[in-house]
């Protein structure tokens, strides 16, 4: 393919004069910080460049790619090839212990992005729903199946499917008192977004689990739980792990089981009270 013969930045340089002014904003943003762009979804690049999402996609097509996803994939490949020659010298993780230390660090970072009171709100919405549809595509499907199975085990009727058309069909026949949990690391999966938008039209509540802070899916959802971690174990272009999404599942299930105690603990924290203070209060007038 002709695009494989030159890099994304070379393609931008070659077509730059033919781009519209709004498209040049996107191109300039990619030129200035390609390392950051490969971590952005289309919404985040649009915000960073001051252009619309449609302009981002048009610019990618004008320089010869099918769309933003393909351009970002090729850009990541360009960066990887440039870095490959000295990757061995830069490698910092060389033992099993270091691998798990990074995973532990990512879990700490994940926990910092989740709020106890918000998670309790999510769990209450899940528990009050007539039926919960858990949707995902690709290698995130096992996360949806895991959450659906465990919700059922804790008394919350939930369904998930490995076939997205089945999920969309189920949602289309749902009721306003149902709920959709939409899982997408990028927050831009088209079919997952379709399911979330369909649910909103019916009147359902939507909870999104995504690693993207600003994306179409999070804008559609009533509740957002972040699965973003600090640093991928495999770098910017390696195979993405679903460990953080599974960890969010664990948090949901734990809060579902112990929500009454957690709510009491949270209320105590907000009131500035703890057991020691209450005990000391008994010794004073």
| Domain boundaries along the sequence of the chain | 2-89, 114-227+242-270
Distance CA 63, CA 67 (A): 10
Q: Quick one: pLDDT at residue 281? A: 52
DSSP secondary structure letters along 9-20: HHHHHHHGGGS-
200-221 pLDDT per residue, tens: 999 999 999 999 877 889 999 9
Q: What angle do CA 207, 254, 99 make, to 5 degrees?
A: 90
Lowest pLDDT segment from 28-32, 37-41, 126-130? 37-41
pLDDT in tens, 144-175: 999 999 999 999 999 999 999 999 999 999 99
Is the pTM here over 0.95, yes or no? no
Class of domain 114-227+242-270: alpha beta
CATH code 1.10.10.10 for 2-89: yes
Question: Bridge partners of 133?
Answer: 159, 180
Query: What is residue 205's three-state secondary structure?
Result: strand
Give the C-alpha distances (Å, rounded to integers) separating 173 from 165, 170, 176, 180, 206. Answer: 13, 5, 10, 13, 16
Tens digits of residue pLDDT in 63-96: 999 999 999 999 988 887 776 544 444 456 678 8
**233: pLDDT strictly greater than 90:** no
What pLDDT does 85 receive? 46
Phi first, then psi: give them for residue 224, nearest 5 degrees.
-130, 125
More confident residue, 65 or 265: 65
* pLDDT at residue 188 in the model: 83
| pLDDT computed for residue 230 by the predictor | 74
Q: Residue 263: what pLDDT? A: 73
> Residue 62: in which H helix or E strand, if any?
helix 53-62
pLDDT of 89 reads: 44
273 pLDDT higher than 50: no
Whether 114-227+242-270 and 2-89 are alike in CATH topology: the answer is no
pLDDT at 277 over 60: no
Q: Is the model's pLDDT at 235 over the cut of 80?
A: no
Look at residue 224 and tell me whether its pLDDT is greater than 90. Answer: yes
244 within 8 A of 106, measured Cβ to Cβ: yes
Which residues make Cβ contacts (< 8 Å) with residue 50, sequence separation at least 6? Answer: 25
Q: Are the C-beta atoms of 161 and 170 separated by less than 8 Å?
A: yes
Residue 285 has pLDDT above 90, yes or no: no
Q: Taking all residues of the chain, what is their mean pLDDT, rounded to a whole number? A: 86
End-to-end CA distance of the chain: 84
In contact, 43 and 214? CB cutoff 8 Å: yes
Q: pLDDT at position 1, please? A: 40
């Amino acid at each position: 393919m002709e695009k494989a013969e030159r890099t994304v930045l070379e393609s931008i340089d070659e077509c730059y004069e033919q781009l519209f002014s709004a498209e040049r904003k996107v191109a300039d943003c990619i030129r200035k910080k390609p390392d950051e762009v490969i971590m952005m979804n289309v919404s985040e690049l649009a915000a960073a460049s001051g252009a619309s999402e449609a302009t981002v996609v048009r610019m990618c097509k004008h320089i010869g790619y099918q769309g933003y996803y393909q351009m970002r994939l090729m850009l990541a490949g360009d960066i990887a090839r440039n870095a490959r020659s000295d990757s061995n010298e830069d490698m910092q993780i060389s033992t099993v212990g270091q691998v798990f230390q990074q995973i532990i660090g990512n879990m700490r970072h994940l926990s910092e992005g989740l709020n106890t009171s918000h998670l309790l709100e999510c769990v209450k919405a899940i528990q009050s729903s007539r039926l919960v549809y858990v949707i995902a595509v690709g290698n995130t499907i096992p996360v949806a199946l895991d959450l659906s199975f465990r919700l059922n085990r804790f008394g919350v009727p939930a369904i998930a499917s490995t076939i997205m058309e089945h999920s969309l069909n189920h949602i289309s026949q749902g009721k306003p008192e149902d709920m959709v949990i939409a899982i997408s690391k990028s927050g831009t999966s088209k079919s997952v977004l379709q399911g979330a938008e369909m649910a909103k039209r019916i009147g359902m509540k939507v909870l999104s689990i995504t690693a993207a802070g600003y994306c179409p899916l999070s804008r559609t959802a009533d509740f957002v739980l972040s699965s973003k971690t600090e640093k991928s174990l495999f770098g910017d272009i390696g195979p993405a792990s679903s460990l953080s999404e599974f960890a969010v599942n664990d948090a949901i299930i734990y809060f579902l089981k112990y929500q009454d105690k957690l709510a009491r603990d949270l209320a105590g924290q907000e009131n500035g009270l703890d057991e020691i203070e209450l005990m000391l209060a008994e010794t004073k007038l």
